[in-house]
Amino acid sequence: MKKLLYFLLSIFIVLMFGAGWYFSGIIYSVGLNPEFTDSGNVGTAEDRVKIDSVNSSSITFNIEEEQWGYLYENGLYGIIGQNGDAVVGEILSVNENLVTRKLLQINGTLVKGDLIRDTALIVKDEDINKYKILGSNSWSGQVSEGVYTPKSVSDLDFETVTYNSELGDFPAYLTNNGDNGIVIFVHGFRGDYKREVFAMVRSREFAEYGYRSMIISYRNDRGLPKDPSGIFQYGVTEWKDLDSAIEKARTLTDNIVLFCISGGGGPCSSWLGNADNQSKVSGLIYEAPVISFWESVEINGESRFPWVPSTLFSYFKLFTEIRYGVDFDSMDFRYDLIDSQIPALLFHGDDDEWVPVSMSDFIASNRSYKYTYKRYENVGHVTAWNADPDEYQQAIKTFLNSLD
């Protein structure tokens, strides 16, 4: 019996070590290694969504696999097929894998059996009262393959500027029109300022409010200087590049607003704790922000690997820290935002499988100073505008006006 127990214990130790080695490797590759390029396919199945039926007022989707999609979530979304595209709105019914939504607009042809993909990147062209879908046949949004600009996306004139940080020069798009101030967009996970379409779409709205937009880059971005640690630091060091961008913007205006998107929440919040003078910034806008990186690892891991017991993630955290010399606790900046005296506006959906809404809930329940929290039901990652465009734009307009 004793030999059997020793044998089983040995098997358990080997299995736990193997699991720790495997999942720490995934955490490093997907979340920490800037050179890894296939993070989208780790632990996920390929989306398989077909049109089941379509008429003049509604469209029904047969969803076989939709790991990261929007078709079960509230809001306005684009549908792109081989021979046409559409914009869908309200969910009319859900019957297991069949989802029927209101059809708001259709271009070209979509028929039963067509494979489609969905997207949150749509804009409304007020001049013709129609939506445009980025990446569709009717509007690619690109100035050249894989490259977008404020001009190609939102018809805004712009220039490319640079600012110097401790690792070298970093580029940014800066739109030309607006006398009220500058909004600095801080991108998220594996971002690239030339592909930050969300920011370029929002730039048009800020131009209407009299603000220029500065869409910045920072260390570990594609083709730019790498952090000396060799990994993404989620704000621990990236805040220094943001500070340099702020200094660049301060040569043009004394009214600066940070717009921190997803993983951009780390550099913004770390800046709050490290800046020599927080008064450089007038306001903070957060969209589904990563403010404590490990919590995002947990929810993302649970979504990608639903069969793994959640109790094991603390073990994976420790294993990763030991194996790669990472300190995840140093990537937690929640109290830097909670204690900040800069007015803040935060958007987050409760169905976010990339960044847990509980992180934003925690901040909302602990911060008292000039904090507005817009929490959306059955809405996913960075899709608050899609959930309610009018409310979203009004919230931003009200916030900006409150900074005067």
55-73 pLDDT, tens digit each: 999 999 999 877 667 899 9
| Average pLDDT along the chain | 92
How does pLDDT run across 385-400, given as a tens digit for each residue? 999 999 999 999 999 9
Residues 217 and 193: their CA atoms lie apart, in Å, by 6
Question: Can you name the residues that pair with 133 across neighbouring β-strands?
Answer: 122
Residues 377 and 384: their CA atoms lie apart, in Å, by 10
CATH code for the part of the protein at 150-292+332-402 = 3.40.50.1820
Residues 48 and 326: their CA atoms lie apart, in Å, by 37
Within this chain, domains 48-133 and 150-292+332-402 share the same CATH topology: no
Mean pLDDT for the stretch of residues 145-158? 95
Extended strands (E) in 294-390:
344-349, 371-376
Q: Of how many residues is the chain composed?
A: 404
Question: Can you name the residues that pair with 95 across neighbouring β-strands?
Answer: 98
- pLDDT, position 4: 66
- pLDDT, position 382: 96
* Alpha helix (H) residue ranges in 275-312: 293-304
How does pLDDT run across 295-327, given as a tens digit for each residue? 999 988 887 888 888 889 999 999 999 999 999
Would the pTM of this model clear 0.85, i.e. be above it? yes
Q: Which residue has the higher pLDDT, 18 or 111?
A: 111
β-pair type (98-108, 58-65): antiparallel
Q: 400, 211 in Cβ contact below 8 A? A: yes
Extended strands (E) in 187-248:
211-216
How does pLDDT run across 12-47, given as a tens digit for each residue? 777 888 888 999 999 999 999 998 876 655 655 557
Question: Can you name the residues that pair with 105 across neighbouring β-strands?
Answer: 87
Question: Where do the domains of the chain lie?
Answer: 48-133, 150-292+332-402
As a dihedral over the C-alpha atoms of residue 381, residue 351, residue 233, residue 241, rounded to 10 degrees, the angle is: 40
Residues 340 and 336: their CA atoms lie apart, in Å, by 6
Residues 159 and 175: their CA atoms lie apart, in Å, by 6
CATH match for 48-133 among 2.40.10.170, 3.40.50.1110, 2.60.120.10, 2.140.10.10: 2.40.10.170
Question: Can you name the residues that pair with 213 across neighbouring β-strands?
Answer: 183
How does pLDDT run across 257-278, given as a tens digit for each residue? 999 999 999 999 999 999 999 9
Q: Indicate the SS3 state at residue 253.
A: coil
Q: Indicate the SS3 state at residue 205.
A: helix
